[in-house]
Structure 1
Amino acid sequence: MTFDRRSFMAASLVSGLLAGEAAAQTAPPVATGKPRAPGLPQPTETIDLWPTDAPGMPVKPPVETVDERSADELVTDRAVYGITRPRMAVFRPDRPNGAAVLLTPGGGYKWVVVDKEGYEMARWLTARGFTAFVLFYRLPGEGWASGPDTPLIDAQRAMRLIRHRARDFAVDPERVAAMGFSAGGHVCASLSTRFAAAVYAPVDPADRLSARPFCAAPIYPVISMDPAIAHAGSRSLLLGASPTPALEAAYSPERTVPADAPPHWLLHAEDDDAVPVENTVRLRAALKARGIPVEAHFFEHGGHGFGLRKAIGKPVEAWPDLWRAWARTKGLG
């Protein structure tokens, strides 16, 4: 990939300062009134994306709220919305393999899920040597001045901050992948196709670095804003009730693939009743048309939002190992 090493070296001069401020970072989202599930590693480290307020703060900022949707005392299923302090929860492996993955969980742009597509995947990755960063991005329907660019702004900034602080995490700044689920898959695909878009004003040396992922894995992703196949809820919250055809095209990653997009790994279940499999089919075709390396897996059964926990006992359960085998062939880890 194209990477400005001179910029990285310059930016890393102040990374120690950022590391020293870790104690002042915003805590991970926590649901009040319910204890954490026993025995599961929880993040103890976060990275705020912005040194001050996030850009384009609404006149009446939303209030961060965490809902616990699980009635099982041993299983958590949290969702957070009203995010005004976008941040990454960091999961460090015992033996880093030098690669990192930026995770963007789903939630239909209504909220960001914490556990199912965030912490659970992060634990799987760290058990295999990857450093994982779970991104709690701002939601586009909550009044931010940047509108539909809001999640992409946070994803670009997150990728640059990981590279900026790569030495702190024993990570190779070039080997930072992206993986996203459902609407978070749209965030991932937007990042992998619009990484060079100037969607925010630089705020510090980290913003001199590339936001291009080393490789990308949109999982059962929301992709197209074409109403024929779009996830209606995500489309409405991202673009509003009556977007123009030009707006639909601008925010459909299958229509914005650049010639230098990173390699992609795609996954979808044919029986997905929330986000039609055609979303992934179209993205694969667009990548192939551009000559971008892509591997796609389509499973007969799996539904939507299976992550890790809902894939157990089905053929689709194999997907994380399939991704890891592919990632090795690309040099990720």
Structure 2
Amino acid sequence: MLDRRSAILGTLASGLAGVAAAQTVPPHIVGAVPVAGLPEPDETIDLWPHGAHGAPGAPARALVETVVERSTETALTDRAVTGISRPRLVVFRPRIANGSAVLVAPGGGYARVVIDKEGYELGRWLAARGFTVFVLFYRLPGEGWAAGPDVALADAQRAMRVIRSRARDYGIYPERVAAMGFSAGGHVCGDLATRFDVPVYTAVDAADRLASRPDVAALIYAVQSMTPKLAHPGSRDLLIGRGASVALAAAHSTALNVTGKTPPCFLVHAEDDATVDVENTIEFRAACKAAKVPVETHLFTSGGHGFGLRSAMGKPAEAWPDLFLAWARTQGLG
């Protein structure tokens, strides 16, 4: 437990320390000019030690991290990254910390991890409201990692433990760490919320003695089911394979793994989502209710898929960030 004085002093000390040495830089396009008014983050935390003891179960063929720009607007970036071999956290520090942290898992259909609209934009928005934000760039299950469908979960578990191991440095309370995920990143978040205690990697240091259970979880238009009827086909194919057995699909359908230990959940989905069926969220909510897990659910008439912050404006779904803040306060965060 941190007292408030220690939290404040920790924030000051870490701010003076600057960027951690020898950390992998954030995903970026070499030579790209930052958008005016949107400074690029430069502080990262590598999840796994480098060298022979780096991220476990590396594919036989070395990956090349590649970032592509998908936006056609000069004032709005929409980058995505593939080939992540050094999973890491990109840090957004608030000017005045409220003692709470959010681990953010962007989406990308398990084919990529988006950088801006479900990552950095949320990082800036939450940090402006006092949260210390850690955007997770996790390994992709279709890129040959030995852990297969558990590889992103391993990174998420490790991320929670690393954040808690550095709580004093960042001026946060280790019992006030939320997880938030979008689309396939919502599956990573749901997996973490329901299988946080499943051993999916071998401990590498003292941080792995800490808890990986998030204190609350926010699943935003999340991929949840891996059954053929409800699954997002691309995410399912990359996570468990097109010919996956019924048992394997069930093992990676997050609603089927909800227990009384699952943390309180905040769920958001748009009814007109044509990419990830809203029934994914409805099914997860039903599982939470059955397990007596506190759950708040917001289903919007319109918003489509992948709205994040930018694409929700002017639609009913634009209310979700403020609804999350209000709910988070009732859970002791913020």
Deviation per residue, 1:118-167 (Å, 9 max, x gap): 00001010000000000000000000000000000000000000000001
**Contact 1:68 1:79 (C-alpha < 8 Å) held by counterparts:** yes
Look up the match of 2:58: 57
State how many pairs are aligned.
318
Amino acid aligned to 1:173: P
Distance 2:169 2:248 in 1: 39
What's the RMSD between the two structures over aligned residues? 1.5
Deviation per residue, 1:255-283 (Å, 9 max, x gap): 01122110000000000000000000000
Distance 1:70 1:105 in 2: 17
Provide the secondary structure at the position in 1 that maps to 2:142: coil
Distance 1:103 1:56 in 2: 24
**Contact 2:19 2:42 (C-alpha < 8 Å) held by counterparts:** no
Task: Give 1:31's match in structure 2, choosing from 9, 29, 32.
Answer: 29
Kindly state the Cα deviation for residue 33 of structure 1 after the two structures are TM-superposed.
Answer: 4.6
Look up the match of 1:290: 291
**Contact 1:86 1:138 (C-alpha < 8 Å) held by counterparts:** yes
Distance 2:172 2:31 in 1: 36
Give unpaired runs (5+ residues) of structure 1: 4-15
The two structures have a TM-score, normalised by structure 2, of 0.93
Kindly state the Cα deviation for residue 21 of structure 1 after the two structures are TM-superposed.
Answer: 8.7
Look up the match of 1:167: 168
Distance 2:89 2:188 in 1: 15
The ranges of structure 1 where at least 4 consecutive aligned residues each deviate by more than 6 angstroms after the TM superposition are none
Look up the match of 1:47: 45
Q: Identity across aligned pairs (percent)? A: 64
Look up the match of 2:7: none
Give unpaired runs (5+ residues) of structure 2: 2-13
Distance 2:55 2:28 in 1: 20
- Asked whether 1:90 is paired with 2:88, we answer no
Kindly state the Cα deviation for residue 20 of structure 1 after the two structures are TM-superposed.
Answer: 9.5
The two structures have a TM-score, normalised by structure 1, of 0.93
Distance 1:68 1:83 in 2: 16
Amino acid aligned to 2:288: L
Provide the secondary structure at the position in 2 that maps to 1:23: coil
**Greater Cα shift, 204-213 or 30-39:** 30-39
Within a 5 Å distance, the mapping from 1:70-109 to structure 2 comes to 70-109=71-110
**Contact 2:19 2:43 (C-alpha < 8 Å) held by counterparts:** no
Kindly state the Cα deviation for residue 32 of structure 1 after the two structures are TM-superposed.
Answer: 3.0
**Contact 1:41 1:123 (C-alpha < 8 Å) held by counterparts:** no
**Contact 2:67 2:82 (C-alpha < 8 Å) held by counterparts:** yes
- Asked whether 1:319 is paired with 2:320, we answer yes
